[in-house]
A and B are shown apart, each in its own frame.
Chain A
């Protein structure tokens, strides 16, 4: 049962990470790519970490519980840090004058599509 949950969490993490990268590579401009990075990166990381934390409860002992707790703590940290970093990058791009994509075909990314 525990293994099953672990597998689900890990797989889901990889799936969302795949989505993240897909968005990161295919979206047309910086801002839209940040959507993918901000949401996908956070969720996939948190899911995988949860999976690994559960995995470490395999042979429950005080030490392993604490280890699992630490992994969960990392997950929480990333849940706070990742959107914050996304915001900071976004703000930096905005401040430094990157123009949002407006559907026109002037972007070189557009050609790739």
Chain B
């Protein structure tokens, strides 16, 4: 196996190395990748979407379809892990836990978490809301939000945090997140546009088509953030407790 693997890897390496001479220099502003589609985004983003962060406009609008599915990947991964790992509530009690329980609560961690978590949350919301203007957005904000709960779960234990975030609502909320994204896109159909054509919202929102795109993006980013946050936490909860939802790490 080792030998086979080496042969495969080295063959691949050799092939890729062969192509290297043919690839453009690193950072060449005239390379095809840097001019064709890229320039269109750079030149037109502000004008067409009023979003100065091109990554956001490409992510949530030009390629919003990709991003919708990316959110669904996360949703899917969450459901997958939950379905694979989660065991019944009823049988949990009978099982003898293989791992020793932690002795008492860790006061230092808990105190630090109690200070840091709310700060993280407001920061995360800031990151979501300012995706148009700074390197942020739904994914980043969602990850930070989810992490704030993971921090709490690390400091206390999983059961305590699951009293705050109900296990049932975790999955439901992650579904709501994707539904927000999808819903914003679907409503465009009823407003006479194509799927995910946020400019169709302009009549409802009472703003220009360009601004409607900007608001549409914010809307989907919120959906993304909700899903990412809950699934982040769900992944942590499932994986750290082996699907038992008891102690966590």
Q: Which residues of A contact B (CB under 8 A)?
A: 77, 80-81, 84, 87-88, 91
Q: Which residues of B contact A (CB under 8 A)?
A: 106, 108-109, 112, 115-116, 119
| Contact (Cβ within 8 A) B106 A80 | no
Distance of A77 Cα from B108 Cα, bound (Å): 15
- Contact residues in B for A84 (Cβ distance below 8 Å): 108-109, 112
Least CB distance, A23 to chain B, in whole angstroms: 22
| Contact (Cβ within 8 A) A81 B116 | yes
| Contact (Cβ within 8 A) B106 A91 | yes
6 cross-chain pairs, A with B, having the tightest CB-CB distances, nearest first: A84-B112, A87-B108, A80-B112, A84-B108, A88-B109, A80-B115
- Contact residues in A for B106 (Cβ distance below 8 Å): 88, 91
Residue of B nearest to A91 (CB): B106
Distance of A84 Cα from B109 Cα, bound (Å): 6
| Contact (Cβ within 8 A) B109 A80 | no
Distance of A77 Cα from B112 Cα, bound (Å): 10
| Contact (Cβ within 8 A) A80 B116 | yes
Residue of A nearest to B119 (CB): A77
- Contact residues in A for B115 (Cβ distance below 8 Å): 80
Least CB distance, A15 to chain B, in whole angstroms: 27
* Apart from the given pairs A80-B115, A88-B108, 14 other A-B contacts in the complex at a CB distance below 8 Å: A77-B116, A77-B119, A80-B112, A80-B116, A81-B112, A81-B116, A84-B108, A84-B109, A84-B112, A87-B108, A87-B109, A88-B106, A88-B109, A91-B106
Distance of A80 Cα from B109 Cα, bound (Å): 10
Distance of A87 Cα from B112 Cα, bound (Å): 11
Distance of A86 Cα from B69 Cα, bound (Å): 39
- Contact residues in A for B108 (Cβ distance below 8 Å): 84, 87-88
- Contact residues in A for B109 (Cβ distance below 8 Å): 84, 87-88
Least CB distance, A45 to chain B, in whole angstroms: 16
Distance of A37 Cα from B116 Cα, bound (Å): 21
